[in-house]
Structure 1
Amino acid sequence: MKSIFFHLMPYRDLPVDFEQRYESIWVTPPNTELCDPRRVAQYYQWNLDELELADALGFDGVGVNEHHQNGYGFMASPNLMAASLARRTPNNSAIMVLGNTLALYAPATRVAEEFAMLDVLSNGRLAAGFPVGTSMDVNFCYGVTPTETRPRFREAEELITRAWTEPGPFTFNGRYNQLRYVNPWPQPLQQPHPPVWLAGGGSVETWELAAAKNYTYSYLSFFGAKFGKKLMDGFWSTMDELGIDRNPFRAGFAQQICVSETDERAEQEYLEHVTYFFNKCLHIPPYFFEAPGYRTRKSTEFAIKTNQPGAIAAAAALEKNWKTLVEEGFIIAGSPSTVADRLIEVARTLRVGNLHALLQIGSMPHELTKKNITLFAEEVIPRIRHIWDDEGWTHEWWPSGAAVRAVTAEPAAQV
C-alpha cells in the first residue's frame, strides 16, 4: 500500500470561541481580523518542513491540495508548494497534487501548462489531481454557477488531456474554453501524461469518469472507515457494473492518524488538536457546504441513501469524547501496533491501495506533527506496505519518476 503524507495546511491559532463568534471557517471568516500573515509565514515554513521530513523518512508520496478563502486549509495554489517540494525532496517521493480545481481555470490550459512544468521539474514524479472542487470554493468563493460546476470540470479535463497528448497547435472550441491555438510548452515528461488522480466525496459521476478514463479515485473524507465503506462499496459496485477490475490501487482513502508510544499517550497528546479540527476547521453552515444545483440528482440520491454522519463527529469533538472519535473511526489513533492493525483492517475493508495519511491535524504544533510523521514512517509503514502483495496487482497510476520504496523484510503477521 502506498502511504502519502497529505497536508491540509490549516490555520493553527483560531480563537477559542471561534465557532460561537463566527459564521463559518470557509467563505466569510474575516481575513484581517483572524488571519495574521506573520503567523502564516511561520506555518508555511513548518508545513514545507513537515512534507520534506516525510520524504526523508521514506513516505511514498507527499500531498497538497487547493482551497480558497478559509482557515481550514489556506493553500490557494498547491502548485507553488509542489514546485518547492520538487526541488527539496531528494528522496524522490511522488508529488501528489490533489489537485487543481479544474472548474476555476479559464482557460484550463493553465492547469495543463503548470502541471507539465511540475512534471518536468520533478523528473516525472507528479500525480495530477483533478478535483471537481468543493461548493464553497467553486460556487461561493469563485462565483461559478452551481449547475455549471461539473460541465466546466468535464470540458477542462478534456482540454487538458488533449493539450498533453495531441500535437500542437490545434484548435479547441468548447462551451467554456474557446482557443484558436493550443500548443503548450513543455509537454509533460511522463508519457502519454502524468497519472490522473480523481478526488471526491462520493459523486457517482466521478466514479464513472474514473472507469471511463482509467483514472484512480481517492475518497477524501473525515468521517472514517465506517461511513467510507458505504461510499467505497458504491465505487466498487460501479466498477463491477462497468466491467473494471478490482485492482485496489484504483482507490485511495484519506484518514486522520495519531501515533504515540501507547494508546493512552495518544489521547493525552492529540485530543486537543483533533477537537480543534472538528469544532473549528469543519465549522461550515449547510448553506455554504453545498449550493443548490452543485450536486447532480443521481449523486444527491446516493448521498441521501448513505446518510453522511457529520453530526456524530461534531458532537463527539464538542464533548472531547476520544472514545467515540476512535471507535467510530473518525480518527485512527494509538500505539504504532494499534494504528497499523487498524489501518490494515480499514484498507482490506475498503479495498484501497493508497492511503492519504493526515498526520498534521487542526492546531497540532510543529514538534508534535514531526513526532507523528516519524513514528508513522518508522513503525507503521513497514507493517502496512505489503498488504496487497498477496494479490499481485500492479500500481498503474503511480508516477514513473517516483522512487520505489521497499523494506528489508515483510512482517510475518501482516497478510
Structure 2
Amino acid sequence: MKFGLLTEGEVPKGLSYSARYHEIIREAVFAEEMGFDFWGTSEQHFVPSAYAVSAPETLYGAVAALTSKITIRHMSVVMLRYNHPIRIAERVATLDILCKGRLELGTARSNNIEYLKAFGVDPVTTREEYRETVEVVVRALMESPFEYHGKFYDFGPTNIVPRLHGPNCPPLYVSATSVETHRSSGELGIGSMTHDNWFGWDYMKQCVSAHKEGLRSAQPIGGLYVINPNLGLLTFPAHVAATRAKAIEEARHSVLGLFNHVSQLYLGLARAEKEKGGTGYSYFEGMEALVEKGSKNIEYLIDNSPTILIGDPEQVIKRIREYEAAGFDEVILKIDGYGHSTVMRSIEMFGKYVFPEFRNPRGIPANDWESVGVPVPSYLL
C-alpha cells in the first residue's frame, strides 16, 4: 500500500493566498520527511477559498527544488481544449526535468459546470474530448516529431521542447468518479484514482471491478507507455488525531463544506448535461439521496462514505485495511483546510502511527510501562 498527500490549497478564513501557498510548500517538504510516497495538487478554477490552486505546475517547481525522494504527481490536469495539449506536454516535460524523473501524470475530465461554461466546453462532448487530448499529450511527449489528425486537433509534423528527463512516459492516471471512466481508463492501461465516492461501498466496488475488467484488454495509446494497473482511493478528506472526537471536531467544517459544495456541483452538472440530451454525468443524480441525510451529519458521512477517512490511528488503520481488501493499491490523503499547524500534526501522525502498520508492524513494540501496570496515553507527539 502506497500513500500520497493531496492539497487543494484550502485557505482558512482570514488568511492570504500568499501565506497559504508557502504553507503548502512546507507541508509537501514535511510529507517527504514523514514517508509519504507521493504528493500533488489538483487543477481548480473559480473557487476562492476551498480550491485555490489554479496553476499547480508552477507550484510543483518549488516543491521539486526542495525535495529529493517524494514522487510529484500532477493529480488532475484537465484534459479539455482550454488546456492545449501541446502546452500540457511542454509543462510536463519541464517539470519532469526539474524533479529528475519523479513525475507522475494524473488527468481529469472535469466535474464542474462552471469550468465548462467559462472555457466554452460542451459537457456532452467531454468524454471524447478528454480521450483525444490525452492521446495528443502522450504522442507529443513520446514521438519526435509527432502529428495528429482528429476531431478536435489537427497538427502536421511538430516537435515539442524540452524533452522528458528520461526515455519513458511518466506513469499515467485519471481522476475517476464514474464506473465508465474506471473501465475506459483500464482499457487504456491508465491507473485510476477513485475520488468523491459519496455513493457507498457497493458503488466503490463496482468502480474497482470495472477498472480491473478494462485492464484485461488494455491497449496503451500507440504502445507508447507502460500499462499502469494501480488503483488509488482519494479520501475527501482525511484527518487523524489522538481521538476520534478530536479528529471529527477539527475536520467538521471541512467535511461538511466539501460535501455540500460538491453535491451542488455534481447535481448542477448532471442537470446541465441532461438539458442537452447527454447522460455521461447522470450518475451524479445519486447525490440527491445523500444530501438530506448527510448535509449536516458528519458522523453519518464518515460511517457510510468510503471517501471520508477521519478518526484516531486505530480507526484509520482499520478503514485503510478495508480499502486494501477492496482492491486498492494506494490511498491519497486529502489533508487540507484544518489550519497549517493541524495539517502538519495530521501529516506527522500518519507518518508515525499509520504507515508503520502497513510497512513494518513488527517494529512496533509493546509498552513497558503498561506491562508494569501504569496506564499510558496513546499517540503522543
Q: Which residue of 2 aligns with 1:50?
A: 27
Per the TM alignment, residue 65 of structure 1 is displaced from its structure 2 partner at its CA by 1.0
Q: Give the residue type in structure 2 aligned to 1:197.
A: Y
Number of residue pairs aligned between Structure 1 and Structure 2: 354
Q: Is the 8 A contact 2:76 2:106 kept in 1?
A: yes
Q: Which residue of 1 aligns with 2:234?
A: 254
Give the secondary-structure state (helix, strand or coil) at the position aligned to 1:308.
helix
Give the secondary-structure state (helix, strand or coil) at the position aligned to 2:76.
coil
Q: Give the residue type in structure 2 aligned to 1:171.
A: E
Q: Is the 8 A contact 1:99 1:131 kept in 2?
A: yes
Matched, 1:374 2:348: yes
Change (3 A) 1:269 1:124: same
Q: Which residue of 1 aligns with 2:319?
A: 342
Q: Which residue of 1 aligns with 2:64?
A: 86
Q: Which residue of 2 aligns with 1:217?
A: 192
Q: Give the residue type in structure 2 aligned to 1:141.
A: A
Which of 229, 246, 249 is the aligned partner of 1:268? 249
Q: CA RMSD in A?
A: 3.1
Q: Is the 8 A contact 1:138 1:149 kept in 2?
A: no
What is the alpha-carbon distance in structure 2 between the residues aligned to residue 111 and residue 376 of structure 1? 33
Paired residues for 1:277-296 under 5 Å: 277-280=258-261, 283-284=264-265, 286-288=267-269, 291-292=272-273
Q: Give the residue type in structure 2 aligned to 1:184.
A: I
What is the alpha-carbon distance in structure 2 between the residues aligned to residue 332 and residue 149 of structure 1? 30
Q: Give the residue type in structure 2 aligned to 1:142.
A: F
Give the unaligned 5+ runs of structure 2. Answer: 220-226, 366-381
Q: Is the 8 A contact 2:244 2:310 kept in 1?
A: yes
What is the alpha-carbon distance in structure 2 between the residues aligned to residue 374 and residue 335 of structure 1? 13
Q: Is the 8 A contact 2:144 2:158 kept in 1?
A: no
What is the alpha-carbon distance in structure 2 between the residues aligned to residue 48 and residue 309 of structure 1? 34
Change (3 A) 1:64 1:280: same
Give the unaligned 5+ runs of structure 1. Answer: 14-35, 386-406
Deviations 1:169-198 (A, max 9, x none): x43333322333420122212433111111
Q: Is the 8 A contact 2:199 2:286 kept in 1?
A: no
Q: Which residue of 2 aligns with 1:17?
A: none
Q: Is the 8 A contact 2:183 2:210 kept in 1?
A: no
Change (3 A) 1:73 1:268: closer
Deviations 1:262-307 (A, max 9, x none): 2233233332443333345655473346631699967557x28xx7
Which of 133, 138, 142 is the aligned partner of 1:165? 142
Q: Give the residue type in structure 1 aligned to 2:159.
A: N
What is the alpha-carbon distance in structure 2 between the residues aligned to residue 294 and residue 191 of structure 1? 46
Per the TM alignment, residue 218 of structure 1 is displaced from its structure 2 partner at its CA by 1.0
Q: Which residue of 1 aligns with 2:89?
A: 112
Q: Give the residue type in structure 2 aligned to 1:214.
A: G
Change (3 A) 1:40 1:254: same
Give the secondary-structure state (helix, strand or coil) at the position aligned to 1:292.
helix
Give the secondary-structure state (helix, strand or coil) at the position aligned to 2:160.
coil
Give the secondary-structure state (helix, strand or coil) at the position aligned to 2:290.
helix
Q: Which residue of 2 aligns with 1:194?
A: 170
Change (3 A) 1:64 1:129: same
Which of 52, 61, 65 is the aligned partner of 2:42? 65
What is the alpha-carbon distance in structure 1 between the residues aligned to residue 4 and residue 35 of structure 2? 10
Deviations 1:20-55 (A, max 9, x none): xxxxxxxxxxxxxxxx8x711112122222222111
Give the structure-1-normalised TM-score: 0.76
Q: Which residue of 1 aligns with 2:2?
A: 2
What is the alpha-carbon distance in structure 2 between the residues aligned to residue 341 and residue 107 of structure 1? 42
